[in-house]
Amino acid sequence: MSTAAFLTELATTAADKTEVLATSVPHGHGPVVATGAWGLAIWALVGVYVILVAILACFGLHRGMLVSTCWRKRAKLKEIERTIVLPEDQLPRVTIQLPLFNEATVAQRLIETVALVDYPRDRLEIQVLDDSTDETATIARQACERCAAQGVDITYIHRVDRTGYKAGALANGLKTAKGELVAIFDADFLPQPEFLRQVVGHFADPKIGCVQARWGHMNREHSMLTRVQALMLDGHHLVDNRARWANDMFFNFSGTGGIWRIQAIADAGGWAHDTLTEDLDLSYRAQMAGWKFIYRPDVVTPSELPEEMSAFRAQQFRWAKGTVQSARKLLKTIWNNDSLKLSQKIEATYHLTPHFTSPLMLVLSVLLLPMLAILPGTDPRSMFLIDLPLALSTTGSLAAFYMHAEAVQGRSALVALRRLPALMAVGTGMAPWVTKAVLEGLRSMAGEFVRTPKKGNEGDRYRATIKIPVAEVILSIVSLASTVAAVQNGHWFAAPFAALFCFGYGYVAALLIDEQLERRRAERRSLVPVP
């Protein structure tokens, strides 16, 4: 981003002005050469910046390679989008697990939807795995009773200790599961009636351990925040997952909207709760045990996106912290596994470390101000011959990534391009929060599994906790100063990216503050007596 322009400036400066410009600072009407301790400090700052840029550039290059893979292997990817129809008497027995925890707004909807799945009644079992401590328990139990009265094989299992959180509930359900396959749906998902018939045919191949389907988004157009989230998830499902599957690399069961062979879970060591991303952890252990995964992008399960920034942050925090924990747990084993190809090990490393880009971006946004204030702007020739191509190439992979994700599902690639600045702003604004999650993941394993609040039919029933976004406000001000410095010193390609940092941090802070104020207004309204 602004990194490309900065690297170009360094290269041009080194070639044309040697180290005089690279270690100069504004003084009166012109630069003076920095020497001694000040010069060393500037070079140290430059060195740190360049290292961070190089690491981020590697992630950008990798993203572009995933898009290239999807394009090169589009024939193979298209081939997997087909349903293998099995004779009725050969359909395997399936257990559907529905893990719940305080999901009063969506529990009944989920249970009643799953009860309508089109599959032989004598080969389908539904387990409602409820750890709830509120009225969800009553709602779910009554919904199960109504479905059972209609002839559905449904079991309500309630735990009071919540040991292992979601992973513990799933493992507990497997103790009594009747199926040879197990499908899993979180509370905010609504599987289509034909889901099982579309995916169970793949398990005729005894090597298949898991089939993951794509997530849909029921409330995609609710707001700019939900549109950005949908675009992010489309990129993960329609580029990340498809490219990894096409290249025979490891990818993960996404925790919901997929189906497992129970034997594969057992062979991998079962569900573990020493990380907050039990799905990612189990996926890698199963694939290292020799099981194959399939990704079906044409099978879509609608779901609900968080509509509040606080809820979105709660979700992203858990995913980031859990992914870092899984990286701590798995990477050494992956690199010591002689049966894996080098390309698989490299891809697994990229897959397990994407959230480390957030602390890198956070540091870069802070370093940007002194760098723009110290270094002089480049001349017009350098800007158009070097800066512009580099700036376009660094953002190009990001644009190609999300444009491809939208195009492949029949949506407009130009819409993805128009929403790209908002996506970049949200990603930047989330950097402080994700950085906190990364640090916690590095410091400790496991932790409390904090559910993502779901609106369902009762929008205000569950809300995520909000803290005053002090870090975001401060960083927005710092980035505003960077924008001013970029304009004043002629860093024309850096200026828009500094402004993007400013907007991103400010946007996230503004949404959180607005949500907090709205809750206080709602509390005051609730205290006003009804006439």
In the block, which residue shows the tokens 């099978």?
299
Q: Which contacts (CB < 8 Å, 24+ apart) does range 115-119 have?
A: 115/147, 115/150, 115/152, 115/154, 116/193, 117/191, 117/193, 117/195, 117/196, 118/193, 118/194, 118/196, 118/197, 119/91, 119/94, 119/196, 119/197
Catalytic residue among 131, 186, 234, 240: 131
| Contact yes or no for 322/280 (Cβ under 8 A) | yes
Catalytic residue among 130, 234, 240, 279: 279
Per DSSP, 200 falls in state G
Per DSSP, 463 falls in state -
Residue type, 53: V
Alpha-carbon torsion angle 505, 510, 511, 516, nearest 10: 130
Q: Which residues contact 88 (CB under 8 A, 6 or more apart)?
A: 120
Nearest to 257 by CA among 220, 308, 297, 313: 297
For 424, the enclosing helix (H) or strand (E) is helix 413-429
| Contact yes or no for 453/464 (Cβ under 8 A) | yes
Q: Which residues contact 285 (CB under 8 A, 6 or more apart)?
A: 268, 269, 330
Q: Is 422 left (phi over 0), alpha (psi -120 to 50) or beta?
A: alpha
Per DSSP, 303 falls in state B
CA angle 284, 288, 294 (to 5 degrees): 65
Active site (annotated) includes residue 279: yes
For 52, the token pair is 């961070």
Active site (annotated) includes residue 131: yes
Nearest to 206 by CA among 149, 255, 267: 267
| Contact yes or no for 189/301 (Cβ under 8 A) | yes
Positions marked catalytic: 131, 279
